[in-house]
Structure 1
Amino acid sequence: MDNLFPVDAEQAWTADGAGEEPADERVPFGRSWRFDFDRGEFVLTPSRKVAPADSTEAWVMWCQKAIRTPRYRHLIYSRNYGQEFEDLIGRGYGRAVQESEIQRIARETLMVDPRTASVEGFVFDWAGEQCRFSCRVMNVQEEAIVLEGSVS
């Protein structure tokens, strides 16, 4: 009789590393374009070309853009891209619930990228109905940034 749970040699489950990927496989960081989020435009070189962002800087640009982009609003992005902060404010939730949801949404937004290892250390600053927050985001190369966002 055939085995109900066949074992693939590449996906063997062991007590030591159940389902873990081999440590030598590295996540590619790729390239992107530099963007000035305060001015709302791409950063240009002196020759008027869009400035490239390599490696870690490309990941930072991705994180900043993902945390600022509302999910499902732009058809160009997949359904996994962006955040859902719009649904929080004005629903009558207490601040503790809203802060918990901001943490959950920010983690879900940023952890979609395989370059992101962790999102933690949230700090909240409330001004009326607007909440500004910051968090510490670490990538798989153990480089960390402080990312800021707001919900209103």
Structure 2
Amino acid sequence: MIPQGGAGNVLFQQVRQPSKTYQLDPFQQRMIGVVDGLEAVKQAVYKILQTERFKHTIYGSDYGCEFNSIVGKSASYVKAELGRRIQEALVQDDRILSVDNVNITVSGDSVLAEFTVVSLFGNFESTKEV
């Protein structure tokens, strides 16, 4: 006997959840309120780029960046890899559509990545130094 009924002909609609989260103050190391929209995405970018992937078991394997493995490598290798790794880490967040205009500058032992984050709530400039 084949069951009758069910949800075979029902159309499902995907509903976007709010991006509201606690606002963090990295200097005083405490929560200072609540943010939503573009400010929440900016905070997410900051947190993702500060978290080393696979280091903390509280985060899934798709959260964070892999920067430790490029430290000490040649400048040309780091310059080629850094932009890709930043983009790979950030687009895991479904609010971030793309990472554009990546500019990598090598200065001695440090590397500075400047880029534009394109999100559902707007675009903003960000940087990461390794």
In structure 1, distance between residues paired with 2:17 and 2:79: 32
- The structural deviation recorded for 1:97 is 2.6
Deviating beyond 4 angstroms after TM superposition, the runs of 4 or more aligned structure 1 residues are none
Greater shift, 78-87 or 115-124, is seen at 115-124
Deviates more, 1:62-71 or 1:27-36: 27-36
Assess if the C-alpha contact under 8 Å between 1:29 and 1:59 holds in 2.
Answer: no
Unaligned runs of 5+ in 2: 1-7
* Residues 69, 82 of structure 1: 8 Å contact kept: yes
1:30 is aligned with what amino acid? S
Q: Measure how far apart 1:58 and its partner are.
A: 1.3
CA–CA distance in 1 between the matches of 2:17 and 2:45? 15
CA–CA separation in structure 2 for the residues paired with 1:80 and 1:40: 28
* Matched residues, number: 121
Q: Is the 8 A contact 1:125 1:132 kept in 2?
A: yes
Normalising to structure 1: TM-score of the pair? 0.70
What percent of counterpart residues are identical?
21
State the distance in 2 between where 1:126 and 1:96 align. 9
- Of 21, 31, 35, the residue aligned with 1:32 is 21
Judged with a 3 Å threshold, the aligned counterparts in structure 2 of structure 1 residues 9 and 104 are, in CA distance, closer, same or farther, namely farther
- Aligned position for 2:89: 109
Q: TM-score, normalised by structure 2?
A: 0.80
| C-alpha deviation, 1:88, in angstroms | 0.7
Describe how 1:1-152 pairs up with structure 2 within 5 A: 27-37=16-26, 39=27, 41-44=29-32, 51-91=33-73, 93=74, 95-141=75-121, 143-151=122-130
Preserved CA contact (<8 Å) 1:29 1:56: no
Following superposition, the deviation at residue 89 of structure 1 comes to 2.1
